[in-house]
Structure 1
């Protein structure tokens, strides 16, 4: 599919920051500084304690959100470098040019999951329900809020103060809640141009307008965001597949001779729910057959040869996907063309992950408990915080200092920006921000302190199923 890029603007335009920068003699480019301040932020470091799919304290060595983000950044950077090296005309017309553009894409990859709460999408579903009457919740919108408001940097009082280009690169879904429905007629699988969700809160309007200035099509991703999204999918299907096979969750070695009808019916039923347009079932089936030919053909026993075979398979996947994207100039604008074969292969692996891993009873049981933890934290913190703010705080109900600080800074920011909301709405958003700043161990520990209940971190590998 093709993704259009906005008309190129001056280098200074893309390098601008919302709040300016102090004069100094730092030899780094503005985009190198973006990359470094994300990497060194506590908001990024927290991702080591946040799940990717399985819990971060599993006995098996699995990817967490930190290692996932590092690999998304690396894959995205290498694709950007490759495109700039192979296509000089294209390289001279991207934000940051051939030197800065890879830094922009890498920064977007590093930052893309910063706003995701403990327990990943499990907690996100709970917070979507809890925040439904307070402006909603979405992990990507929380990421944009984190880097523009909540994350800490020594020289600014508002987030990380990234450049316009880096902020725009992080916007995976550059529109407000409800706007994704207004342009749904334009959305066709695989959604690379706009995505199918929303990704910014109304409270970040000024930051959003700054990041999107100069974009000619509302809701369309920047070029860096397209590459970040593609790198995110590549990392998800290549690196996480590595975990699932080693952990015995996905029997890749058996797929060569396995009847595929059950899997195909499962995948088709999920597409029916999601309403995929422009989807070719025959192409999906064909690429499933093609992928089976390169999958490991022996059971995992954790030998050196097993690791070499799996590394070779992962290497083959990465090469299939990262070289499947090419720039094309159309009517004076540059567009990206992602090969349909690669798109279908990525979709096959995503569906295999749902079929063998995400729909497992063991994972569902763990996630059921995680939902209860997040729901309890939100409700109890809301009650405690409301009493605290009304001067009725009880000695045995102390409010975390960070929660108080988030609220106070929210009041300050809204006085400056002119954004208005009720105090109840403000308390709810503060609690949501606080929960999203926790690691999974911190969430469990706080839950135990509030409720007096002891929690054992669950495992999806429990044999009692």
Structure 2
């Protein structure tokens, strides 16, 4: 695949016809006046950055828990890296960069403490009440749980930002209304009853580049953090021909390079190759389909922004490398078991004694709520916790807290 450099958006003021139009948004659930200085997508992005949920990401696990060291990625630094890659892709494809950046910045709002381990534990606890899904929780946060504005709960984001949040990984239902990845989480269905996000369509191209940027970011920085931690070695990278080739290229050009610089030179090349691959694939599909509006993108029935077949193979090989040597490493699994125990214990404690949720805003009412409503509020409270806050809460309520070091 090759890139059409004349079609790149660098230095081009106008968006492509298939880009989302910030001045013709489908609107917000609660009508608001426009801004004379910012587009609606700029306002969405700015609202996202100023949330409590965004600040909490700095103390939520990406892969390595905060105790492991200050130099490892957190959910916040991961989010910032995703946003940078999403902006780069959006600019090259002449999309609305503010919308792409906003979707990237909000995509992990719903993650629990301790990463996917916490999500799995909370899903198991809440399974009798519909389970837990971090994407649905992100929607709850930006439509209900952030309590900042006088006239509405949540952030009152535009339709385009919300559909990007919900559908950045593709449609949630097929033409028959059946879930494409299992049952659609109830919080998403509840919101769509008020403000239809068209779950049967793909999202905008801005949301699609945010989704692929997420893959590029964590494929790269999990290798970086893995090498720093010692769970990965340079020899292990030889298991992926693409990475082996990058190592040879760097070592041939810079013989004797120290490990930290060698790692960075490999990682920056990895990001560049993956970004350019996505641009090339997306350009080719745009030429074939010739969409003339953002709605043409949504209804085309395919994902425009994705890897080539060759890079998709590399993507799978990298994920296998990460699962084998990091995510399923015995020491990581020990830590994950302890983290799951903390989340499970806290859920049980808060269900038994809701007033132990000392700062929860439903403090005065929660004990009289129906069981399923109470469970959802406990889930909201737990999902909002940072790693540090969850550990501290567990130490306050239990005699023994698992060691996550």
Provide the TM-score with structure 2 as the length reference: 0.81
Of residues 431-440 and 316-325 in structure 1, the stretch that sits farther from structure 2 once superposed is 316-325
In the other structure, the counterpart of 2:44 is 34
Helix, strand or coil for the counterpart of 1:404?
coil
1:447 aligns with 2:379: no
| Residue correspondence of structure 1 range 66-465 to structure 2 within 5 A | 66-84=76-94, 98=95, 101-171=96-166, 172=168, 182=178, 196=181, 201-205=185-189, 207-208=191-192, 212-213=196-197, 215=198, 218=200, 220-256=202-238, 288-295=240-247, 305-325=258-278, 326-327=282-283, 328-329=286-287, 330=289, 332=291, 333-334=296-297, 336=304, 338=306, 339-385=308-354, 398-402=356-360, 404=362, 423-454=370-401, 456=403, 458-459=404-405
Give the number of aligned pairs: 367
Q: 1:72 to 1:156 in 2, by over 3 A?
A: farther
CA RMSD of aligned residues (A): 3.2
2:347–2:378 contact (8 Å) kept in structure 1: yes
Q: Which runs of 5+ in 2 are unaligned?
A: 2-16, 298-302
Please show how residues 10-29 of structure 1 align to structure 2 within 5 Å. 11-14=22-25, 16-21=27-32, 23=33, 27-29=37-39
TM-score, scaled to structure 1: 0.71
- Whole-angstrom CA distance in 1 between matches of 2:163 and 2:241: 38
CA–CA distance in 2 between the matches of 1:180 and 1:44? 36
C-alpha distance in 2, partners of 1:222/1:121?
A: 26
* Unpaired runs of at least 5, structure 1: 85-97, 185-195, 261-287, 386-396, 412-421, 460-465
Alpha-carbon distance between aligned partners in 1 of 2:163 and 2:269, rounded to the nearest angstrom:
31
The Cα shift of 1:352 comes to: 0.5
**Alpha-carbon spacing, 1:407–1:228, altered in 2? closer, same or farther (3 Å):** farther
